[in-house]
Structures are given as C-alpha cells and as structure tokens.
Amino acid sequence: MNTAIVTVGDELLVGDTENTNATWICARLADRGVAVRRVTVVPDEVGEIARVVNEYHAEYDAVIVTGGLGPTHDDVTMEAVADAFGRELRRPT
C-alpha cells in the first residue's frame, strides 16, 4: 500500500510548529509495513488543500490528512476535503 500524508497549517509553513504529526504517523505506518511515499504541508486554504487531496487521491492507495481541525477561524480542512470529493459538509444531527 502506498500512502501520502497531507499536513495542514500555516504555523507549519512559517516554522512556528514542528510537524510532529507527520513524523508520528510515518513511524506507525512503517511499523505496519505501509509505505509512505509523500508528506506534504499545505496552508490553511480550502482550494490548496482540496487540490492536493484530490491529486493524491488519484495517485495513492490512501491519503491521510492531519491538522487544521481545531476550533480556530482558519480550520478549513473538513470543508476542503469535502470539496475535493465534490461533497457537502454536513453537521451531525
């Protein structure tokens, strides 16, 4: 299985935060025999996240997206992944 990891966050791109999520995920996947072929950091921008997720979805067996899911104004990851697949984001009822 070939996997790509997409980490989301402006704080990663400017060096304010170390990308420990990607490191941890890569180690866990490697322990299970999963090949990580790409790790990419993208900004908190819906279009950029959606573009990369859509591109990687076509190239890899699995795409793991992490980051950008907290309670701040720039957390757009769920919206962007929904956009990548042409789906609406729905809140649970």
Residue 55 lies in a domain: yes
Domain count, the chain: 1
- Tell me how far apart the alpha carbons of residues 26 and 46 are, in angstroms, rounded to a whole number: 24
CATH number of the domain bearing residue 36: 3.40.980.10
The per-residue pLDDT for 59 is: 97
CA atoms within 13 A on the CB side of 72: 10
The per-residue pLDDT for 3 is: 97
Which residues, at least 6 apart from 58, have a Cβ–Cβ distance to it below 8 Å?
none
Identify the domain containing residue 10 by its residue range.
2-68+76-84
Residue 9 lies in a domain: yes
The model's confidence at residue 69, banded by pLDDT at 50, 70 and 90, is: low
- Tell me how far apart the alpha carbons of residues 21 and 67 are, in angstroms, rounded to a whole number: 8
How much is the average pLDDT of 24-38? 97
The per-residue pLDDT for 74 is: 60
Residue 38 lies in a domain: yes
**Contact between 76 and 9 (Cβ < 8 Å):** no
Residue 93 lies in a domain: no
Residue 89 lies in a domain: no
Residue 91 lies in a domain: no
